[in-house]
Structure 1
């Protein structure tokens, strides 16, 4: 990735830059800021600890860091944060003594670089268990055997715990592990897969293993290994240059898990004063590279066991890290090199002449099992061969050296030792199938201001995504920026009607009144009809509002929505058009795979101002999940359908799901009944239950550009607007409450949700915070994705559970949440939901990173609706500062949010009040399309300009309404002039 060197910042004295580089490997603006924002157990922050280490005052260093930050302002910021994740360790030294360095000869000729040995797949994740030794040794075995087939760390750790004498799950001794691998062996991972949890002190190895694992393990054993002096850098380099991987030990220091320098770049540096020491950890050294910028003149390339989301931006591949020579020299705990292994195949058993046909069949079973094992290994090697051939066919791929191919066994036993690798350029970073935060930087040294940031955080406190203008411009011109003819027509229509001041409906229909604009439910044909039954109280209520009686309906056990619809519409011959209106329930069917345009065409309607009498009402409530739970699942309505339909129609969605994505039918009914009950109070009585105010909540974390901008350019201006005499809130007698910066704590937020001093909710709750973006393998992703990170997180170090407000916290509020009748806007990454694959980026040469097991609606807005909120406006995917700034550089552009708040306070329905975002999306999409067309005719466009348009279009697209789009605050509406 392209970092911005500190030597380009003239305000930093050369002597200080030299100390930062030589002592702490801090050579870039990004690393300096990340180090300052990291946690420190003793001194509270990396800023304080670094100031102490440099002999500076904290105030002076803060001023310098702030100056550096301002010299590299991001053009766009996304709202998400780093979360504290527990990683296992597990290196136990016991009475181990390192060999004397004098016993080793000094190598006379070493290559400047040895790329990572073995061409291994990305590393696995040991989870919370202390199994690092098993992971490091299994990786070493894969390298030496020249067969990257995953091996069972589960089996190796179990076998170690049977004999090591170390109580509980506190790790194991490396020498014991080598001896176990020599005497007992190891089986394949698929024979006994690894389980990253639980950490079980009564049964740390999770045994016993399956019988086939024990019978297979002796086929793979260590033959020769030897200890090395861990502090002799040249000896370690010489061993690696011979093709031997090395298991090494280092103490885990705080920055490994807390600083972007380690968690993203994979740079392990000498610890700052006061950093927490978590104890010993085993890594597998696979290569090295001389580099004068690294402490000691170079670094080792090591394989960690914390998965591919840790250090996912490392230049040698996700999950790998760089250990400076100086750190290894001063802090290395041990080093054990693996030189030779044995991989055996048992000879076939001779047939027994005394058995009959039945016995012969039984005798064939072991032979088939052996053939199956060999076939599995051959399949893995063929897969790797295909990947290598694909790399050769891709001219854009950087060359990567491969070890000599392993020979297939031609006898009962073979012994493997690695060939000496050739030195070459830096190994190509693994990019396919990545998950977690994205870093898409071109590598070209551009203006610091050309880097774009979304507003969101990972558990470790790092941004969810980084992308620079050059890369974004390339993506915009490629597959990611292409628009179909259908979409281009849609954008043109929306832009035209918005320019000519047309509302979402035709002139004769007032969209503020459901009586004339009409309302219907949209449900997937394959969903159970019980989903319709669950919200039937709301359907009946809306039908009464629209002036006709509810048709007689019934629900049959196990019936699909499609079959139910056919029964109640005379096989589809009765529609919601003018001639049939009132004769059938307001239900429309979505057929799996339909796009919005084709769905409308099936109902004989096109994209444009809505005439509800043609058969598709203006207010549409989508029922169900936003995506499939598995490959065969068709019972969903995709987010893309909602985005496109929302251009002219007022669309909302109801989805109440558990941690497995299954419907919670009782929650659908609860929402329907609460909404109907609130509306049946009448406006005057319902309004009395609301506090007449807009509550603004905005965090502003230390040294955090995203929330600095959202606080200063969005929340504060909105609060000031609310106080202006001629602004609509003041005209309507609506006050405001402001929790900004240090006051936006969890405690204050919970007090607000509990009804404050008078037990009533605010009419509108508006939040602008970091949204929690958890990595794909995090156990809390499904229930906590998009949770709000409050001011309890200082901006320093990782985000912990105490810092964020999640859906489950609503149930713990004293006296319960008070939300009945309110409207909530969540400006945060994943505030409304999360797709399964990253929607922000798609490049033909890169797989779309998976970010969730399946597309989901976030749990927090689900629980807000369940506890009485009428609706929630939120963002699917990352939220960016382009929501309140223009692509031309104008900041604090809060008009769109002012318009939404104003329309809601006028009593307009939610779906109609939020229409401005659709207009903005259409305009930005048209601008991007026009620029891309101009490029075809040789117009010279700045990468930053194109990148801004591309990101801004994506940002505007992903706002959605959750809840009934026809719900409204109980305030007086403008007089209905049209009928």
Structure 2
């Protein structure tokens, strides 16, 4: 369970304010900030609603929020939450009989806690259909039967709608639904699968279930239904203590979907003033805990039906929430229990096989069911022998009544993107304020003690440590290539494309216009070439790029073999890591054209991001990767980029005129520490430096789009003013981060969140700028983009900030990929895009208490406006990577030899190193701005 920061840590929040907030179960800094930043239909923002509750001005509450943010450490990442996709509710409480609470004897001797009655699989989402009642009943049946078999909510909803006669997909009456299940039962999910869409008001339950579904459903029925007083906390607790799950009903507010307090940890509360009511909602209560800090003295442990991405940080499991006693007492709308469960086994068995296909299948099914019955009996006997409680499901027709409480559920495994908080009370937290796109949770949250442990487990290999040390030593003497090579002269520095040995030769063929152009610039005489269908890159290179041939007589194409590490690859080409001497076999400028990771376990046609990171320490490296949503190469896009770049460079030598302007685009959202810092410590200092630095001296105008000016419309206008893009587009914004299973991950991961998002509530599609927002007729010819945002360049398959030797790295994407926005920028003529793989952190401009350190960005921009090639202009990031890696390696070495680790220092070194390593150039590293120089 995460450790929340109490409000007492904020001196600006007095006791009176804390008492008022406690009634809304807002007792921590995290919840207070999340509530202030949430949306509110009636009042405009959670901030305004809190002001109304507290009887204070919005400025007063804003000051409290800013003070609260100060207690959170200042290492921040840049991503933001997206408005939750529409989810259904669907409990109709009309005509429910009222139950007189006085007819029940007050329960006595209740335990202070009833853990969840049974461990169920993570909940799935009902989607936009109003089927919550069906999901609640299915969970109740699973708990009563102590059987996790997935049951058909589709079946339950159909039989309920068939009886309630309420038109449209608006939900159903819980009592009608439970009586339907008592009469007809419920079949398994695999027999009649649930469909979360469409919402069909003509056929709310969709089509009638099959006869086989009805026959099977009869084998699993509710024995009887009992109503409890909907607001009697004690009676509901008594039912749970007796082992009976309870269907509860509430009229829920919008904070269930737009406040991090609920979407992260699942602590629901009273609605604030101005909140929109979302409708009646049914859920399954499966336990409770008395807790004096919760409103009403405790809370119910409740299973929702909005999937495991909602409240996925809840200690009792993703998709579960805590409903305080007070909320039930004040607003409870329904409480129903099943008195037991009737389980039947089919008795009829066909006479023999072979009479008909249907009989054959029925015979096999009957044999399997008989085998299951024998296995159940064997399990019961073994359980008796070892003293364990027997199975509650007997092979003969049986009424199952709750008898005893289940064991608490096991700890839930990783769900990525991950939040990881150590339990140490005094741990200083490294808090990246970025928010996951769908769930409204941080993309990563980790305290210094845990980060320190991870750093010690994730030490660089000896090979990589040597690379960093060599680079660090070399930097003290000279830069990039050896002293007698001019890295701006391709004939001396040289250029080559690097491809995977097993990729199809269509990749080289698509890039051939650029390869021919670069060969001509290097003085290479290319032989006549041919491309054979079905041939691999390695087979083609054996004919036209054999390493035994002189450099001047072979195609500048180098092959990467599957699994090859940097040092081995360099050695095979006749050199070692160090200052680059191109004549020894490896050119200074290297364009990797490959996917960054495998699409399947057997896929070997890729060149990893790590290979690029390591090679980039000394060489000028860029990458081209044009892929579709399935990760497959789009060869036509490689050809388009190659042709546009060649055409641009030839025009630049004649009549191309650059729009000498740099656009600095930076959002600054209200109550958002991440963008506040990037605006104040990165964008504003860069814009100020521009006025007296190299850009101004070289005649480049400045356009600053900050805070309220950093809108989507202004971004689009800045890219096309005068039908020509700016020379450089620099942005510092949140980058969109979506869960690994999100269907829009490939399209939107890393999209730029603009100032159109107010900072309150969830972010919607119109609030971010993605690849599809670039008009097809937009020309970005000759532009370089620098995107400071999470996932701005790409996304790895597994989390790069978390490592556990037992569980490995959490999965955050189906496969490693390059983001779509930079891909589409390159296709529209951009020379290159510098961005970040994985999360971006403030360590890029702040470390060890020194804020606003923009020197590396100034160096990159200064080199670009001076006409340096992209691969050498961006080398400052590689210097920082090597320096931080070396410092971290030395610290870990000292710890091995007895130094007592200092968690904050070690964690900072580790995360700062990871941050520096993940910058990447997408595009040809030999390209450069047309600033009145030969190309």
Give the TM-score normalised by structure 1.
0.90
Partner residue in 1 for 2:146: 146
On the 8 A contact 2:110/2:238 being kept in 1, the answer is yes
Partner of residue 420 from structure 1, selected from 401, 404, 409: 404
On the 8 A contact 2:265/2:314 being kept in 1, the answer is yes
Partner residue in 1 for 2:884: 924
- Measured after TM superposition, the shift of residue 525 of structure 1 is 2.5
Q: Deviations over 1:750-776 (max 9, x none)?
A: 1112x22x2221111000000011223
Q: Deviations over 1:177-209 (max 9, x none)?
A: 223322333233334443333333344434355
Instruction: Report whether the alignment pairs 1:762 with 2:738.
Output: no
Separation of aligned partners in 1, 2:211 and 2:520: 67
- Measured after TM superposition, the shift of residue 789 of structure 1 is 0.6
**How many residues of Structure 1 are paired with residues of Structure 2 in the alignment?**
926
Q: 1:655 to 1:382 in 2, by over 3 A?
A: farther
On the 8 A contact 1:91/1:172 being kept in 2, the answer is yes
Partner residue in 2 for 1:534: 510
Partner of residue 711 from structure 2, selected from 733, 745, 760: 745
Q: Deviations over 1:825-864 (max 9, x none)?
A: 1100011111222222111244533222222211111111
On the 8 A contact 1:315/1:428 being kept in 2, the answer is no
Q: Deviations over 1:608-659 (max 9, x none)?
A: 2222223322222222322222333332222222222221222211111222
Separation of aligned partners in 2, 1:167 and 1:558: 59
Q: 1:536 to 1:187 in 2, by over 3 A?
A: farther
Q: 1:456 to 1:822 in 2, by over 3 A?
A: farther
On the 8 A contact 1:461/1:797 being kept in 2, the answer is no
| Correspondence 1:760-909 to 2 at 5 A | 760-811=724-775, 816-886=777-847, 888-909=848-869
Q: Deviations over 1:292-345 (max 9, x none)?
A: 111001100111111112111112221111100001111111111133223333
Separation of aligned partners in 1, 2:860 and 2:339: 68
Partner residue in 2 for 1:705: 673
Separation of aligned partners in 2, 1:408 and 1:5: 44
Separation of aligned partners in 2, 1:215 and 1:491: 68
Partner of residue 680 from structure 1, selected from 637, 643, 650: 650
Separation of aligned partners in 2, 1:639 and 1:666: 23
Partner residue in 2 for 1:392: none
Separation of aligned partners in 2, 1:11 and 1:730: 44
On the 8 A contact 1:766/1:825 being kept in 2, the answer is yes
Secondary structure of 2:78's counterpart equals strand
- Measured after TM superposition, the shift of residue 232 of structure 1 is 0.2
Q: Deviations over 1:78-99 (max 9, x none)?
A: 0000101222222223422332
Partner residue in 2 for 1:612: 582
Separation of aligned partners in 1, 2:432 and 2:931: 39
Partner residue in 2 for 1:407: 391
On the 8 A contact 1:258/1:460 being kept in 2, the answer is no
On the 8 A contact 2:350/2:363 being kept in 1, the answer is no
Q: 1:152 to 1:423 in 2, by over 3 A?
A: closer
Separation of aligned partners in 2, 1:662 and 1:777: 18
Q: 1:56 to 1:361 in 2, by over 3 A?
A: closer
| Correspondence 1:38-437 to 2 at 5 A | 38-70=38-70, 72-85=71-84, 86-207=86-207, 209=209, 213-347=213-347, 349=349, 351=351, 358-359=354-355, 363-370=359-366, 407=391, 411-421=395-405, 429-430=411-412, 432-436=413-417
Q: 1:646 to 1:217 in 2, by over 3 A?
A: farther
Structure 1 consecutive aligned stretches of length 4 or more whose deviation exceeds 6 Å: 373-383
Secondary structure of 2:714's counterpart equals helix
Partner residue in 1 for 2:874: 914
On the 8 A contact 1:456/1:878 being kept in 2, the answer is no
Q: 1:105 to 1:929 in 2, by over 3 A?
A: same
Q: 1:213 to 1:557 in 2, by over 3 A?
A: farther
Separation of aligned partners in 2, 1:166 and 1:890: 64
Partner residue in 2 for 1:2: 3
| Correspondence 1:611-690 to 2 at 5 A | 611-683=581-653, 685-686=655-656, 688=657, 690=658
Partner of residue 501 from structure 2, selected from 525, 529, 544: 525
Separation of aligned partners in 1, 2:368 and 2:540: 49
Separation of aligned partners in 2, 1:47 and 1:166: 39
- Measured after TM superposition, the shift of residue 455 of structure 1 is 4.2
Secondary structure of 2:889's counterpart equals helix
Instruction: Report whether the alignment pairs 1:550 with 2:520.
Output: no
Separation of aligned partners in 2, 1:874 and 1:377: 60
Partner residue in 2 for 1:458: 437
Partner residue in 2 for 1:397: none
Q: 1:405 to 1:167 in 2, by over 3 A?
A: farther
Separation of aligned partners in 2, 1:589 and 1:342: 66
Secondary structure of 1:267's counterpart equals coil
- Measured after TM superposition, the shift of residue 164 of structure 1 is 3.4
Q: 1:759 to 1:112 in 2, by over 3 A?
A: same
Secondary structure of 2:340's counterpart equals strand
Q: Deviations over 1:220-260 (max 9, x none)?
A: 22223312112000000010111111111112211111111
On the 8 A contact 2:376/2:395 being kept in 1, the answer is no
Separation of aligned partners in 2, 1:640 and 1:381: 55
Q: Deviations over 1:790-844 (max 9, x none)?
A: 01111111111111111111127xxx42311100011000111112222221112
Unaligned runs of 5+ in 1: 384-402
**Mean Cα deviation higher: 729-738 or 293-302:** 729-738
Instruction: Report whether the alignment pairs 1:582 with 2:560.
Output: no
Secondary structure of 2:222's counterpart equals strand
On the 8 A contact 1:112/1:423 being kept in 2, the answer is no
**Mean Cα deviation higher: 33-42 or 90-99:** 90-99
Separation of aligned partners in 2, 1:520 and 1:364: 65
Partner residue in 2 for 1:942: 902
Partner residue in 2 for 1:14: 15
Q: Deviations over 1:66-122 (max 9, x none)?
A: 22322x142300000010122222222342233222222211111101111211122
On the 8 A contact 1:535/1:668 being kept in 2, the answer is yes
Separation of aligned partners in 1, 2:615 and 2:560: 12
Unaligned runs of 5+ in 2: 380-386
Partner residue in 1 for 2:384: none
Partner residue in 1 for 2:419: 439
Partner of residue 498 from structure 1, selected from 469, 475, 478: 475
Partner residue in 2 for 1:390: none
Partner of residue 471 from structure 1, selected from 438, 447, 450: 450
Partner residue in 2 for 1:399: none
Q: 1:666 to 1:296 in 2, by over 3 A?
A: same
Secondary structure of 2:552's counterpart equals coil
Separation of aligned partners in 2, 1:406 and 1:189: 26
Secondary structure of 1:78's counterpart equals coil
Secondary structure of 2:322's counterpart equals strand
Partner residue in 2 for 1:400: none
Q: Deviations over 1:561-589 (max 9, x none)?
A: 233333435xxxx21x6x52133222222
Q: Deviations over 1:673-713 (max 9, x none)?
A: 11111001134623x1x211211000000010000000000
Q: Deviations over 1:336-389 (max 9, x none)?
A: 11332233332361525xxxx743997553243345578899999999xxxxxx
Separation of aligned partners in 1, 2:552 and 2:389: 73
Partner residue in 1 for 2:382: none
On the 8 A contact 1:784/1:859 being kept in 2, the answer is yes
Q: 1:656 to 1:154 in 2, by over 3 A?
A: farther
Separation of aligned partners in 2, 1:198 and 1:507: 67
- Measured after TM superposition, the shift of residue 908 of structure 1 is 1.4
- Measured after TM superposition, the shift of residue 601 of structure 1 is 3.1
On the 8 A contact 1:461/1:799 being kept in 2, the answer is no
Separation of aligned partners in 2, 1:381 and 1:34: 52
On the 8 A contact 2:511/2:639 being kept in 1, the answer is yes
